[in-house]
A and B are shown apart, each in its own frame.
Chain A
Amino acid sequence: MNRDANTEKNVATALYRQLLYLRRVEEAIADRYAGQKMRCPVHLSIGQEAVAVGVCSRLRKDDHVMSGHRSHAHYLAKGGSLQAMLSEIHGKADGCCGGKGGSMHLVDIGAGFLGAVPIVASTLPIATGAALASQMKGEDRVTVVFFGEGATEEGVFHESLHFASLKKLPIVFVCENNLYSVYSPMYVRQPSNRDIAGLGAAHGVESFSADGNDVCAVSELAGAAVEKARVSGGPLFLEFKTYRWREHCGPNYDNDIGYRPEEEFLAWKERCPLKKMETRLRESGLWDGAWAELLENELSAEIEKAFAHAEAAPVPAPDKLFGPLFAE
């Protein structure tokens, strides 16, 4: 194998590995959720992993990422500590927020994940401010903020794109359009004669769309966008269509309650980002069954270990309730 082919193989298998890692973590959370040890809401990313993996595959460690309520995938794809995330979801002292945040407030400063909060669109202006700081400090760092298509309905989405465009900030806005805001479909929320990428363009922001279930397509588009934001300034806006498999909040499937057709779900499931990547690897002759099995075992052990740690970890001391509230 020549060097280029080797690089191609490494890149492709790394993407697959990340997709599988995110999928298996989320499935493990879902499987154990009924045990009631994770006593906080969880918004799982199963089915949407390719956006997180594809975008973060093109970021440097010192680039910054922010996200919203459905942030596990973004946090992990950026390199956030699995151990700290699981401890946090279990309400433990060594969680990434010391037990103050739960699943909806993830942070790993060392990994460049500045924070996630569950108010729709709320991290858009904060990430914009982080990008402003990068510009003021003369850094060549790029900030990425992930959000759902529901966020594009918030006023602060427009204010943030408006300001980022005005100041030409090094930020990439990444919209994961999964077609539903909780149970509300697009047709009750957005006009049908307008596409989401058009909203970015209307603010003078270079905007693109791609298949959010194709990790290679995501990675390619994100790579170009991140490079552009870094070298010649931003902002850029990317929309990726994808689909959430499980319920909005919680571990279960909920197509039976009647807010979306089972056929729609099955059609999207056929386009599973993980399966798609596996097919691509097979077609390119890069698939290695023994490697895949080894990878499954390796991830399973890693996840098992992290859960065991989280379950055994001590809870925060009672006096941690009171602080720190202020930085001294």
Chain B
Amino acid sequence: MERTITYAEAMREAADICLGRDASVFLMGLGVSDPKGIFGTTLGLQQKYGEQRVFDIPCSENAITGVAVGAALRGMRPVLTHQRLDFALLSMEQIVNQAAKWFYMFGGQTPVPLMIRMVLGRGWGQGAQHSQSLQAWFAHVPGLKVVMPATPLDAKGLFIAGVEDDNPVIYLDHRWLHSVSGIVPDGHYSVPIGKARVAREGDDFTVVAVSYAVLEALRASEWLAAEGVSCEVIDLRTVSPLDMGTVLSSVKKTGRLAVMDTGCKSFGIGAEIVARIAEINPALLRAPVLRLASPDVPAPASPALAAEYYPRAAHLASSIMQCLGRSPDPEWFKSELPLDIPDPKFKGPF
């Protein structure tokens, strides 16, 4: 029987399965054993697996990342959690200089099986230092794999794949996805790293999206379908390595492309995808490409300012209509969804 659980529950289940199957897996991060358990994603795991395998850490992000690298060199499989990507920036030295390069730099002798999970914040006044989406940074560093699941099914499957991978994997889970529900199989399974998913088939426009942007893209596709515009939505699932095969097949069919990211526009995922298409065959594109992303400024805190910081379904649907020489429906911007919280039930704080 099909079972529906939330994205957060799916992540918790994945961690449970990994800890249960392999004694070398351990989970550490600020707050993993506290009463809130990283938005519910680590609840009960310390009780089940003990303080040796699931533990809270000092506020020492850089050293703890090095500790994870060192433990991984010795055959352990650490999973390190950061409640915001922004906090992990304190550990960029260990991630970029050490974790990413170790295997190559020492001639392929010692793998670094390490997963670093970072939560992407958004809205509710999170501001400049609690809401960055820096997947493009990590994807730019050779030696890192970067995954951004959008669905509960992929949240679990990519978590397990990331832990079982013999290389450093950056796992980015969006705070606004935690309460989203979906069908998730029981037990162990993994979703391959480096494979995109066609989330919706269509013929007129290819929309490539990641993480929470996939939900916005699917919402926009519904509205556009009512206008007779058929969108193909590709959920990248993995940012690096990038699955260009899936993107290219779709663009060959539609000839039109929009890329919707959760980060800032310049030098982002959209730039990379468009550049690769241009290298392979620019004639595939019949219309200018659309890049839906945050403007190149830090995220502001005030809901009044943040409202236009994050591209939404309405922005995407309107841009596509304009690209097709048609008029967008102004009603789209009057969507009932609140702008600074993931769903109407949310009462804060994060």
Interface residues of A (CB under 8 A from B): 95-101, 105, 107, 109, 114-115, 117, 119, 122-134, 136-137, 155-156, 159-160, 162-163, 166, 323-328
Are A100 and B104 in touch, CB under 8 angstroms? yes
The residue on B at minimum CB distance from A326 is: B167
Q: Give a binary string over B224-257; 1 marks a CB under 8 Å from any A CB, 0 the rest.
A: 0000000000000000000000000000000000
- Point out the residues of chain B lying under 8 angstroms from A109, CB to CB: 109-110
The residue on A at minimum CB distance from B107 is: A98
Are B71 and A162 in touch, CB under 8 angstroms? no
Q: A127 CA to B255 CA in the complex, in Å?
A: 52
Are A163 and B60 in touch, CB under 8 angstroms? yes
Are B142 and A327 in touch, CB under 8 angstroms? no
Are A115 and B102 in touch, CB under 8 angstroms? yes
The residue on B at minimum CB distance from A129 is: B70
Are A115 and B106 in touch, CB under 8 angstroms? yes
Are A97 and B71 in touch, CB under 8 angstroms? no
The residue on A at minimum CB distance from B63 is: A159
A300 CB to closest chain B CB (Å) equals: 29
Q: Is B26 an interface residue (CB 8 A)?
A: yes
Which of the residues A107, A117, A132 comes within 8 Å of B67, measured between beta carbons? A132
Q: A328 CA to B57 CA in the complex, in Å?
A: 30
Are A324 and B71 in touch, CB under 8 angstroms? no
Are B105 and A100 in touch, CB under 8 angstroms? yes
Given A128-B67, A129-B70, A129-B72, A159 contacting B143 (CB threshold 8 A): no
Are B66 and A327 in touch, CB under 8 angstroms? no
- Point out the residues of chain B lying under 8 angstroms from A100, CB to CB: 104-107
B87 CB to closest chain A CB (Å) equals: 14
The residue on A at minimum CB distance from B114 is: A129
Report, nearest first, the 4 A-B pairs whose CB atoms are least far apart: A129-B70, A125-B66, A159-B63, A98-B107
**Which stretch (B7-15, B73-81, B131-139, B296-304) binds chain A?**
B73-81
Given A129-B68, A132-B70, A326 contacting B63 (CB threshold 8 A): no
**B contacts with A, residue count (CB < 8 A):** 42
B51 CB to closest chain A CB (Å) equals: 11
- Besides the known contacts A119-B97, A126-B94, 6 further A-B residue pairs in the complex with CB atoms under 8 A apart: A98-B108, A125-B69, A129-B78, A131-B70, A159-B60, A326-B143
Are B73 and A324 in touch, CB under 8 angstroms? no
Are A136 and B104 in touch, CB under 8 angstroms? no
Q: Is B34 an interface residue (CB 8 A)?
A: no
- Point out the residues of chain A lying under 8 angstroms from B107, CB to CB: 95-101, 107
Which of the residues B70, B109, B111, B145 comes within 8 Å of A125, measured between beta carbons? B70
Q: Give a binary string over B96-120; 1 marks a CB under 8 Å from any A CB, 0 the rest.
A: 0110001111111111110000000
Q: Is B58 an interface residue (CB 8 A)?
A: yes
Q: A16 CA to B30 CA in the complex, in Å?
A: 48
Are B106 and A328 in touch, CB under 8 angstroms? no
Are A163 and B58 in touch, CB under 8 angstroms? yes
- Point out the residues of chain B lying under 8 angstroms from A101, CB to CB: 105-107
Q: A298 CA to B149 CA in the complex, in Å?
A: 61
Are A117 and B74 in touch, CB under 8 angstroms? no
Given A126-B98, A133-B71, A325 contacting B66 (CB threshold 8 A): no
A182 CB to closest chain B CB (Å) equals: 19
Q: A86 CA to B106 CA in the complex, in Å?
A: 15
How many residue pairs bridge A and B at CB < 8 Å? 144
Given A136-B26, A325-B142, A326-B103, A128 contacting B63 (CB threshold 8 A): yes
Given A133-B76, A162-B58, A324 contacting B103 (CB threshold 8 A): yes
Are B66 and A156 in touch, CB under 8 angstroms? yes
- Point out the residues of chain A lying under 8 angstroms from B66, CB to CB: 122-126, 128-129, 156, 160
- Point out the residues of chain A lying under 8 angstroms from B108, CB to CB: 98, 323-324, 327
Q: A115 CA to B109 CA in the complex, in Å?
A: 11
Are B71 and A136 in touch, CB under 8 angstroms? yes
The residue on A at minimum CB distance from B66 is: A125
Q: Is B180 an interface residue (CB 8 A)?
A: no
Are A156 and B71 in touch, CB under 8 angstroms? no
Given A162-B58, A327-B167, A125 contacting B73 (CB threshold 8 A): no
Are B63 and A132 in touch, CB under 8 angstroms? no
A137 CB to closest chain B CB (Å) equals: 8
- Point out the residues of chain B lying under 8 angstroms from A129, CB to CB: 66-74, 78
Q: Could you list 18 examples of A-B contacts with CB < 8 Å?
A: A100-B107, A107-B106, A114-B73, A122-B66, A124-B66, A125-B67, A126-B66, A129-B66, A129-B68, A132-B67, A133-B76, A156-B60, A159-B60, A160-B63, A324-B103, A324-B108, A326-B103, A327-B166
Are B62 and A159 in touch, CB under 8 angstroms? yes
Are A133 and B70 in touch, CB under 8 angstroms? yes
Q: Is B93 an interface residue (CB 8 A)?
A: yes
Are B106 and A105 in touch, CB under 8 angstroms? yes
- Point out the residues of chain A lying under 8 angstroms from B69, CB to CB: 125-126, 129
- Point out the residues of chain A lying under 8 angstroms from B142, CB to CB: 325
The residue on A at minimum CB distance from B103 is: A327
Are A125 and B62 in touch, CB under 8 angstroms? yes
A282 CB to closest chain B CB (Å) equals: 42
- Point out the residues of chain B lying under 8 angstroms from A128, CB to CB: 63, 66-67, 70
The residue on B at minimum CB distance from A102 is: B105
Are A126 and B73 in touch, CB under 8 angstroms? yes
B197 CB to closest chain A CB (Å) equals: 22
Q: Is B281 an interface residue (CB 8 A)?
A: no
Given A114-B73, A130-B74, A125 contacting B64 (CB threshold 8 A): yes
A116 CB to closest chain B CB (Å) equals: 10
- Point out the residues of chain B lying under 8 angstroms from A323, CB to CB: 104, 108
Are A156 and B62 in touch, CB under 8 angstroms? yes
A44 CB to closest chain B CB (Å) equals: 22
Q: Which of A96, A131, A136 has the most CB of B within 10 A?
A: A136
Are B63 and A117 in touch, CB under 8 angstroms? no
B142 CB to closest chain A CB (Å) equals: 6
